[in-house]
Amino acid sequence: MIDIQLLQKFIGLREVLVVDRNSMSRGRLVKILPEFGVNPKKILACATISEALEFVKKKNIGLVFSEYMVGGGSGFELIENIRRIHSDAKNVGFFLLTSTLSQSTIGLAAESEVDAFIIKPYNLKSIQENLFMALSMRVTPSDYLLKVHEAKDLMSQELIDEATTVLKDALILHPKPSLALCLMGEIEYQKKEVKEALASFTKALDYNEVHFRSLMGLYQLNMREKKFDEAYTTVKKILKFYPGNTQRLSQFIHLAIRTGNFSDMEDFYEMFTLMEGPKDTLKKYIGAGLYIAGKNSLMKKDKELALRYFTHIQESFPEDKILKAIGNLLLNEGLIDESKIFLEEKLAS
């Protein structure tokens, strides 16, 4: 039985936001939601993170359905951004739409970073089972989540000592309190208690290795402490589970170059080719990374790998300056025929 009153009680007069790159999938959910008592006039739909955030700024969003991969990044990133800018984010319901439940998506659910998952292709029954179970938990949240939300509120008011006390209470209310530990780590690092913060982030990830906020907290801590190799180890874990956005990937590529992880440039290049939306800033980092990786390969006498990096540049970043640099680099290595490919393309353009 569909508990329409429960949904209406949760949403109230607020709007429902549907974010999905696939227009057919997006349209199907928009048509299904009124079956649960949602006013069609209160349903907003879009395909990208930027569009979704504009809705959040202008409308009073109460419920969000987001595909795992959306235009401009991941649905998880969208949810994080909404939490950051929404004035009442703790009272917004978040549901992730996905075709498969991988370990990374299961990890997201473990800490209630999203309320639930809805598996595609979805129907009335599958949505009903996930939606109303999650909303019941929202209406009557666990003691652990109540403590976590209270701590977040205190942290936003910069009442750090009070938030710490609440988080200590939260830690004993959940068998795997990754989110509470992560928040504790953020407080500890703010207080310049670096060892304690590192321990909190690490323990949070021991409980849930894909906890996004803890991964980012550990990465940022190591970057600020200039522990670049350790930071890049965390980068590898982040990229294993979460699709990157342009800003984050730019930082990661810069760190890969700084730490000499040139062999990862092809992975970054593949991520770049699959991304949608504006990528001008990222192009500069990808192009520079591929060039340096190619140059490093030549130094190691790996001509085949170097040419693969340079060909990626030729295909995606055919700018005169970089093509000339590649051609001259190959010429200096005695690779005359190979250098002509790049120098001739420059002249032809």
**For residue 15, what is the domain's CATH number?**
3.40.50.2300
Q: Which domain holds residue 26?
A: 4-140
Boundary (domain end) residue, out of 119, 140, 161: 140
Residues 254 and 233 in one domain: no
Looking at the structure, do residues 136 and 152 belong to the same domain, yes or no?
no
Strands of 192-323 (E only): list them: none
What integer pLDDT is reported at residue 100 of this predicted model?
A: 63
Q: What is the pLDDT of residue 348?
A: 45
**Residue ranges of the chain with pLDDT lower than 50?**
1, 103-104, 107-112, 347-349
317 and 344 in a single domain? The answer is yes
pLDDT for the residue 71:
85
Residues 193 and 121 in one domain: no
- Residues comprising the chain, all counted: 349
Q: Are residues 28 and 64 in the same domain?
A: yes
Residue-level pLDDT at 196: 97
pLDDT of residue 86: 83
- The confidence score (pLDDT) of residue 276 equals 61
121 preceded by a cis bond (ω within 30 of 0): yes
pLDDT of residue 70: 87
Of 241, 261, 294, which closes a domain?
241
Report in angstroms the alpha-carbon separations of 12 from 111, 137, 292, 310. 26, 17, 55, 56
Q: Are residues 133 and 49 in the same domain?
A: yes
Q: Could you tell me if 131 and 11 lie in one domain?
A: yes
Same domain, 82 and 185: no
* Contact by Cβ (8 Å): 184, 200: yes
pLDDT at 179: 92
The CATH number assigned to the domain holding 186 equals 1.25.40.10
Query: Nearest CA to 71 among 309, 277, 312?
Result: 277
Other residues' Cβ atoms within 10 Å of the Cβ of residue 75: 27
What's residue 104's pLDDT?
Answer: 47
Q: Which residues contact 215 (CB under 8 A, 6 or more apart)?
A: 205, 234, 237, 238, 241
